[in-house]
Chain A
Amino acid sequence: MGFSTKYFFIPILILVVASCTTDDNAAKDEQKPTIDINYDEGFPQACSQLVRGETYSFKAMVSDNVELASYSLDIHHNFDHHTHDDQDGECSMDTKKTAINPWIFIENYSIEDGLTIYEISIGLTIPNDIDTGDYHCSFSVIDETGWQSRTSVDIKIID
């Protein structure tokens, strides 16, 4: 047969070189946004006690290297101790109990275009008719690329 080994290796060599030199011109965003409640105005702090009927401003600092997109706040009961927060120190928990009318707060928000630093600030009045006890409060943030960061804190709602 008339075709020799070297003709076969040439396309392979080109292929290997081509695949190694295909470079991305646009820099990709490979950084997650940050989220933090550990500053003076951050709220709630770990093991905070919130009183029914009172109004609080839930605050967290978020930042991103490119652009922030949206954030959310989720407050749900932890009467069955199914989860715990990611903050330093352990909070004392009440005994386990069954939920009757637990408070559920689930809300999403978008952040205006072009921001890389933003302070989340959500004013909420704790309803008067909900179950008191252990609650779990989690903030999360997503950047324009789709990277997400979360933080959560154990709190107590009391009378």
Chain B
Amino acid sequence: MLGVWLYFSLCSMVFAQDSFQIEGSVVNANTLQPLEGANIIGKGLFSISSSTGTFTIKNVAEGTYSLTISHIGYSSETVTLKVGPKMDTLKIYLRESVTELQDVEVNGKTKKRETQELATVSHTVSKDFLDKNRENSLMQTLKNIPGVSTINIGSGQSKPVIRGLGFNRVVVVQNSIKHEAQQWGNDHGLEIDQYGVETVKIIKGPASLQYGSDAIAGVVDIQTSKLPVKNSLKGEVNLLGETNNDLLGVSAGIQGRKNKWFYRGRLTYRDYGDYKVPTDKINYENYIFELHDNNLRNTAGKEADASLGIGFISGNIKSETNFSNVNAKNGFFANAHGLEVRSSSIDYDSSNRDVDLPYHKVNHFKITNNTSVGIGNHTLHLDLGYQNNHREERSEPVPHGYMPTPPDSKERIFDKNTYTLNIKDSFSPNQRHDVAAGVNLEYQDNNIGGWGFLIPAYNRFTIGAFAYDQFELHPDLHLLGGLRYDYGVLDSKSHYDWYPSTVNNSDGSTSYIYLQRAKNKTLNFGNISGSLGISYIHKNTTYKVNLGKSFRMPLANELASDGVNYHMYRYERGNLDLDPESSYQLDLDIDHTTAAFSFGASPFVNIFENFIYLNPTSNYYETLQIYEYTQSKVFRAGGEIRASTTVLKNLQLDASAEYVYSKQTSGPKKGFTLPFSPPLSGLFSASYQFKDFLFLYEPKVKADYRITAAQNEIVPPEEVTEGYQVLNMSFTAQMNLFKSAKPFDVRVKLNNVLNTHFYDHTSFYRLIDVPEPGRNLSISLTVPF
């Protein structure tokens, strides 16, 4: 309604013989207040206006450039300027208008140039990508990024996998605090509300230097949402419906800012039924499970999330506190939980929406505070976090081995508290160095309950100190190097069975003993990690080489477990002599981007000195196969390639492929691959933008075609998985029904268009021969206000 005029001025000065500097400032013409956070983007040029509205682009070669200036709430504008000894000064007036809102660059945090200069191989995912590609969980959405895959447990839960490694080998960070749950578990999914996420940085490669233990395969860094604009209040409501699992979801978010204080809040609720698979029966070993109405029995679930953030920004101080709670309940496939075949008198087919046993429920509560203070050329970052993860696995009480029928359905209870403190100082002693040093402290207190036993209770304290320097040898050549030392103490608690087992003694007598499953033990670990890399930007091409050493502290279950995992029909034995896992990785990355064409390749080679591996032995314990934690040398290599081009004005083509080769080069499974190895896979997409018609703006149709090869490289107890091809289609547009209001975003997505019957080698349900979900139509509507 109100036209806001943007006053934009540009001036320049001679910097060197053939290199110039563009300086400018962005102000709001109405209020004459400087505008912070405006994006200034050109071919190879990028800047963001500071809190005083100013920006600088250094080392610009002589020539003609086109710059696009954009800011939330203002329409973007493109200017052409000649950079040279005598440069024109430009003044541009921009008018806010509802129909032009679509041009606004929402993705202000994508500091493309900064990413280019950084030697680590990373990929930044914008809110726009997340909105357009949204699937049932955050990780399923991120699966479209080459090198990223997931281990899914049903339709609503998944855990991250980067280049074939997951579980505790990938770190998930939210608001600079490491997300700590029961991520070692097979049937655990990431407890994060994907609607609250704006920007995700994915690091493919070793990142222990900055993220500590576990960042061995990569990092999913969910970054702090960007600051709301001064004196603003805005919100949105997302509605989602899906046909495959009859999902209904609603998420509402609001954010506002006066001058110094800002806040944001979000509520999300999702409820879904059993998901449908394109088969009417499941064949598992010699068992046949008939499915009612193609429903994968008892895989319904629900999720309710809430979050609230309050922040303060003034001068050199910025502080934000976030509270969030994620609560979910998910059913597990009723006929076989893990590998165990079950009969039950529960009438699972009476409703496809109820969640019967077996199921799990999880509640993740998190408080984080991120404070940064600028003192001179130093910026001090302080992150504080508290997390409570409470997870219950419930199943029908059934006798097993010497265990009589348990009294209730509480099979396993996990309750984990994690306290985190990060202190980091970033400073620039001169223009060429960006130095950072800091310490990370973390304390975990993990408690267990229930009649089943898998992981002992433990306390764990870790401390790590690091320093790294990004050194500018030349404006286009950057060096990044750093070192880190970590020390950890793990205190595992003893655990005894609640029932006696029959033990045949060597003298022929029989005793009945409450067997000890875990011992009281204190273990210490120390590790050095580091990274050295180089980034070189030549015209439209960025080259990176990075060598890193990362590590992972052994987990309590890897060290101390000694019990029956009935779901997997195995006996798991820990090993107190395990060393911290350490891995060396060499990464290369090439990216060539022009307006019409872009190409990238990121190969890697990785060696594990002592990969911790749960080895299936050839011996039994009480008629269950013994699986023992052992360490072996592992060689891995692979990478991703990607290309995209704009063939016609409105037609964009993208292609990407990913591949990982893994081989154990020592130990009992020498010559075998690693569990859950993703097969060679390619994704081809074509999107076409039509002309606006009626009330639809920017209508766009996109087809994604995934071709995945067979996975013939397996390790016991896996099975070979055949290749598959699957087609997904989507339609997105903005809908402007009421001229005065902001346009709605509408998205219609058809997954698995041909209802293809296929298996995903890295799905939890693959082991029991459950195919992937069938055709799914989803409709999503985002209403801003």
Residues of A bordering B, CB below 8 Å: 1, 3, 5, 8-9, 11-12, 15-16, 18-20, 22, 24, 26, 28, 30, 69-74, 76-77, 80-84, 86-87, 99, 102, 104, 106-108, 110, 138, 140, 142-148, 150-151
**In the docked arrangement, what's the CA distance between A22 and B606, Å?**
14
**In the docked arrangement, what's the CA distance between A87 and B622, Å?**
23
Nearest B residue to A150, CB-CB: B285
Q: How far is the CB of B7 from the nearest CB of chain A, in Å?
A: 39
Contact of B605 among A19, A24, A108 (CB under 8 A): A19
One of B89-97, B371-379, B535-543 at the interface: B535-543
Nearest A residue to B287, CB-CB: A86
- A15 to B343, Cβ gap below 8 A? no
Residues of chain B within 8 A of A22, CB atoms compared: 635, 637, 661, 663
Can you report 13 residue pairs joining A to B where beta carbons are below 8 Å apart? A3-B536, A9-B590, A19-B605, A28-B671, A30-B720, A72-B623, A81-B345, A82-B344, A82-B399, A86-B285, A138-B623, A146-B669, A147-B716
Residues of chain A within 8 A of B342, CB atoms compared: 82-83
User: Is B449 an interface position by the 8 A CB rule?
Assistant: no
- Kindly name the residue among A30, A73, A76 whose own CB sees the greatest number of chain B CB atoms within 10 A: A30
What would 12 more interface pairs be, CB under 8 Å, given A1-B538, A15-B603, A76-B399? A1-B476, A1-B536, A8-B588, A11-B588, A12-B588, A12-B601, A19-B605, A74-B623, A82-B344, A142-B620, A150-B285, A151-B286
User: Is B621 an interface position by the 8 A CB rule?
Assistant: yes
User: Is B11 an interface position by the 8 A CB rule?
Assistant: no
B interface residue count range (under 10 / 10 to 19 / 20 to 34 / 35 or more): 35 or more
- A81 to B343, Cβ gap below 8 A? yes
Known: A22-B635, A106-B622, A143-B618. A77 touches B603 (CB 8 A): no
Known: A80-B405, A99-B405. A148 touches B623 (CB 8 A): no
- B343 to A84, Cβ gap below 8 A? yes
User: Is B401 an interface position by the 8 A CB rule?
Assistant: yes
- B286 to A84, Cβ gap below 8 A? no
Q: Which of B606-640 contact A (CB under 8 A)?
A: 615-625, 635, 637-639
- B605 to A69, Cβ gap below 8 A? no
**In the docked arrangement, what's the CA distance between A70 and B618, Å?**
7
- B625 to A142, Cβ gap below 8 A? yes
Residues of B bordering A, CB below 8 Å: 285-287, 341-345, 396, 398-402, 404-405, 474, 476-477, 502, 536, 538, 541, 543, 569, 588, 590, 601, 603, 605, 615-625, 635, 637-639, 661, 663, 668-669, 671-672, 714, 716-717, 720
Contact of B717 among A11, A24, A147 (CB under 8 A): A147
**In the docked arrangement, what's the CA distance between A5 and B591, Å?**
11
- B590 to A8, Cβ gap below 8 A? yes
Which DSSP category, helix, strand, loop or mixed, fits chain B's interface? strand
Known: A28-B671, A81-B343. A106 touches B623 (CB 8 A): yes
Known: A70-B618, A150-B285. A19 touches B343 (CB 8 A): no
**In the docked arrangement, what's the CA distance between A71 and B400, Å?**
18
Nearest B residue to A3, CB-CB: B536
- B615 to A82, Cβ gap below 8 A? no
**In the docked arrangement, what's the CA distance between A117 and B567, Å?**
29
Residues of chain A within 8 A of B399, CB atoms compared: 76-77, 80, 82, 99, 102
Q: How far is the CB of B365 from the nearest CB of chain A, in Å?
A: 35
**In the docked arrangement, what's the CA distance between A57 and B300, Å?**
46
Q: How far is the CB of B510 from the nearest CB of chain A, in Å?
A: 12
Residues of chain B within 8 A of A102, CB atoms compared: 399
Nearest A residue to B618, CB-CB: A69
Residues of chain B within 8 A of A145, CB atoms compared: 618, 716
Residues of chain A within 8 A of B287, CB atoms compared: 84, 86
Contact of B716 among A15, A72, A99, A146 (CB under 8 A): A146
**In the docked arrangement, what's the CA distance between A84 and B624, Å?**
18
Q: How far is the CB of A37 from the nearest CB of chain B, in Å?
A: 11
Nearest B residue to A82, CB-CB: B398
- Kindly name the residue among B638, B671, B714 whose own CB sees the greatest number of chain A CB atoms within 10 A: B671
**In the docked arrangement, what's the CA distance between A11 and B625, Å?**
45
**In the docked arrangement, what's the CA distance between A15 and B502, Å?**
56
- B618 to A15, Cβ gap below 8 A? no
